[in-house]
């Protein structure tokens, strides 16, 4: 998996070069306006500043300082607007400005149903696997915090930040009727899946891929994707999730599949909240020592199954290339 060496479109390189030789406009194409790596960091820094600072200022202007008193549906609509205005739109503008041809970077090629199915099976296995990891991680963090004042201080800070995230996210997820539930799904699952994948796996990862190996392009993007969510206990799970989205984007050569996977992940979080009454994806509950061994076993079983899915995906695309 390290180099993501499945390249579905590699057989078209010679053909594309021939077409470029026949197309005068492509011969004179000056290439990206700036370095692709600089473009990627522009997306990371610019997108962060626009969404966190620009979105925050816009929210304050509309709702005032007392955000908790703001109507929850208004916050949901602001979340939707912020994702579109400060993540999706900048990704499209940056792509057009720097690369000119948007479709060459943000590919929306329609995937085969088989592709969607195998990647979806992967996210179905990955989600509970990462939850098992969170249980194990939080157990050991709690154990270390009891035996180290320095770690306990860090854990106290993380707990405060995580409590704020859970409270904010919980307020957004609550719904009393069907129309409100649909608005929740649009705000939490649909729009973030489209906006964040176009920015991260589209503009940013594809920019990195112009200069560095695909695995490292996806890995760097996944690290920033994880940090972007400000979830102290979910840094590693979110990074693995982002890496899987990046693997899907590169292997399928389309953003459609990572958008679907992102939607499924967020949709599951919404459904889990309403079924169980707690958002399991950001829960920091510490398991009992008696349950630790079974959680470890469960994690490794799912890890093996997930590895089998990755192997199957690579084998599928290898056969697709050579058929």
Domain ranges of the chain: 109-322
Least confident of 6-10, 18-22, 37-41, 307-311: 18-22
Whether the CB-CB separation of 261 and 190 falls below 8 Å is answered with no
According to the model, what pLDDT value does residue 246 have? Answer: 98
Cβ contact 94:42 at 8 Å: yes
| Buried b / exposed e along 159-195 (16+ C-beta atoms within 10 A) | eeebeebbeebeebbebeeeeeeebbbebbbbbbbbb
Q: Could you give the CA distance from residue 263 to residue 186 in angstroms, rounded to a whole number?
A: 10
CA atoms of 262 and 192, how far apart (whole Å): 8
What pLDDT score does 19 carry? Answer: 45
Mean pLDDT of the region 253-275:
93
pLDDT at 123 over 50: yes
**What's the pLDDT band for 25 if we cut at 50, 70, 90?**
very low
Element (H, E) at 151: helix 149-173
Average pLDDT over residues 88-112: 95
Q: What's the token pair of residue 48?
A: 């962060």
CA 272 – CA 264 distance, rounded (Å): 12
Predicted TM-score of the model (pTM) = 0.88
The band of 3, judged by pLDDT with boundaries at 50, 70 and 90, is low
pLDDT tens for each residue of 292-313: 888 899 999 999 999 999 999 9
Residue 286, pLDDT score? 57
Over 90: is that where the pLDDT of 272 sits?
no
Which H or E element spans position 157? helix 149-173
3-state SS of 20-36 is HHHCHHHHCCCCCCCCH
Higher pLDDT residue, 68 or 42? Answer: 42
Mean pLDDT of the chain, nearest integer? 86
- Residues of 256-281 as b/e, b for ≥16 C-beta within 10 angstroms? bbbbbbbbbbbebbbebbeeeeebbb
């Amino acid at each position: 998996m390290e180099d993501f060496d499945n390249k579905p479109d590699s057989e078209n390189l010679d053909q594309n070069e021939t077409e470029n030789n026949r197309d005068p406009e492509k011969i004179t194409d000056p290439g990206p306006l700036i370095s692709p790596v600089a473009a990627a960091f522009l997306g990371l820094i610019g997108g962060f500043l626009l969404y966190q600072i620009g979105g925050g200022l816009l929210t304050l202007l509309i709702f005032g300082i007392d955000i908790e008193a703001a109507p929850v549906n208004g916050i949901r609509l602001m979340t939707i607007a912020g994702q579109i205005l400060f993540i999706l739109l900048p990704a499209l503008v940056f792509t057009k400005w720097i690369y000119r041809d948007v479709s060459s970077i943000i590919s929306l090629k329609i995937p085969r149903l088989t592709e969607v199915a195998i990647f979806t099976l992967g996210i179905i296995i990955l989600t509970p696997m990462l939850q098992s990891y969170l249980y194990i991680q939080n157990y050991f963090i709690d154990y270390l915090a009891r035996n180290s004042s320095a770690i306990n201080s860090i854990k106290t800070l993380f707990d405060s930040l995580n409590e704020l995230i859970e409270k904010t996210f919980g307020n957004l997820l609550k719904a009393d009727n069907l129309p409100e539930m649909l608005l929740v799904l649009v705000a939490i699952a649909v729009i973030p899946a489209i906006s964040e994948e176009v920015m991260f796996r589209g503009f940013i990862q594809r920019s990195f891929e112009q200069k560095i190996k695909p695995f490292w392009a996806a890995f760097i993007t996944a690290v920033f994707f994880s940090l972007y969510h400000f979830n102290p206990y979910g840094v590693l799970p979110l990074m693995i999730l982002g890496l899987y989205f990046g693997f899907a984007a590169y292997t399928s050569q389309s953003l459609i599949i990572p958008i679907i996977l992102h939607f499924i992940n967020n949709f599951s979080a919404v459904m889990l909240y309403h079924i169980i009454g707690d958002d399991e994806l950001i829960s920091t509950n510490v398991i009992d020592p008696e349950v630790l061994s079974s959680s470890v076993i469960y994690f490794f079983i799912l890890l093996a199954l997930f590895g089998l899915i990755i192997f199957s995906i690579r084998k599928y695309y290898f056969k697709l290339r050579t058929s």
